[in-house]
Structure 1
Amino acid sequence: MVPAQATPEGHADPDTGDGTTLPADTAGADGDAHADAAIARLYGEPLLHLPTDLYIPPDALEIFLDAFEGPLDLLLYLIRKQNFNILDIPMAQVTLQYLEYVEQIRKTNLELAAEYLLMAAMLIEIKSRMLLPKRVDTLVEEAEDPRAELVRRLLDYEQIKLAAQQLGALPQLDRDFQRPQLPIEQAPGPILPHVDPHDLQRAWMDVLRRAKLTQHHRIGREELSVREHMSAILRTLQSARFVEFSELFGGQATVPVVVVHFVAMLELAKETLIEITQAEPFAPIYVRLAYSPA
């Protein structure tokens, strides 16, 4: 059974468990005359008379007072509410108000009232000590104010309470904001990438490319003799009367050999051992042995 709270009109709003509730506003939106006389509503319909079988448990109606966290909290509330000077507490008024509150909670919760009764005893003791006449004795120092220890405890409690309120005003996780979470699927073991033949081929081509960049280019020197090529040209011309110029280079493979062969031909022409002739412009060039009279 959920305890009911008092309505602004002072009536209780009990919940009987069968759907019967007191109306928050007795005047219906449609202006029905029966709604003014209804004492409750059952499933939205006005109820003019209480059911004969209606049962309200004794603890269904409760009065909710201001909640305090302890005797010091209640005592500080009473002092601040009436703007008393905390350094000069009027013990008579504060003690009377404190005892009235303790009497209220003692009727409903004796276990909770025990802690407050201890503070009430302390207040009564302080009040009685203040009522005792002071002994006039110049040799004895003036006694300390009986309220000093209570004032110190109240000031410390108020300072801690304000600090707690400031800390409570700070943003807190799971109260003012939520930490973003992103689920990550984790495999039981490492997933190796799939390698196809094309990937292997690209890797092999990359190895060859790097090998070509690091290889050394060596230039060798070929030994060629102009005299040997001169002898080869003379042997070729001895077997034929005329030989076309390009046919003399038919068997030469490399550029250095062709160059040396041409130099040998020029040396033979310089020494008048061969003749280079042409019948007309742009006609084929022929080479033959030089004519020497007997």
Structure 2
Amino acid sequence: MTEEFTVQLPFFEGPLDLLLHLIERRELDITKVSLAMVTDEYMAYLAALERVDPGRVADFLVVAARLLLLKSRMLLPQERQEEEEEEDDGEALARALEAYRQFKQIAELLAEREAAGLRAYVREAPPPDLEPRLSPNGVSVNDLLAALRDILRQKPPPPESVDKVVRPLRVTVRQRIRTLAARLRQGGRFRFEELFAGDVDRQDVIATFLALLETLKLGWARVEQEKPFAPIYIEPIVENVPAEGEEPEFTSEFDEPPAE
């Protein structure tokens, strides 16, 4: 009675993992020449793998074909090419193997940190210096929204029939920006509530508030508040406000395009 012969193979995650093992075992650099030198060892492993686990052979066969092609080209004499050729399969395979080695080294480093319980990294790079879109000068957007809610509570929406068509805007953000720019050109700071003195209903209030945010973003004004819950003031930056008659450049989904 003969016992069945079995082959025990080391486990490799894929063909690149096997190639990297063969090259590192012989202490070679990752080059086309190194790949050709380990082709025979790779094919020997593949032959044994076919007997043990045929289901895992497919991925290894693709790389095996590229290795055999590379080795045959290096063994056979090649005609000298006058023009520079594109990257061949050997160079592409060497580049892919180098990238795989880098990812594997990083994965091993992360695994060591995970095993040591080090699950966080200290940020070394300074935070990016982002250009501010608004210049509230210590007043947050939440503060402005809270002040806006107070204005809206003073102007409750009028009762309307449920079958009534929504009214179009009587005033646009662009029109409110023109009005606000004229006020800013006069200089002198004024209270937040004064912006809405001439507004009739909630639509007018919203248009005025959006116009204020746009002027802050354009750098025409800043908002100030001495302490929490203190009055909010609008401070013009007169040198940035466009001259009378100049059309502001901005885009808003709540506004009509500028007149041509």
Q: Please tell me the TM-score bracket, short chain as reference.
A: 0.3 to 0.5
Q: Which has the higher helix share?
A: 2
Higher normalized contact order (CA 8 Å, seq sep 6+, divided by chain length) = 2
If the length of structure 1 is used for normalisation, what is the TM-score?
A: 0.35
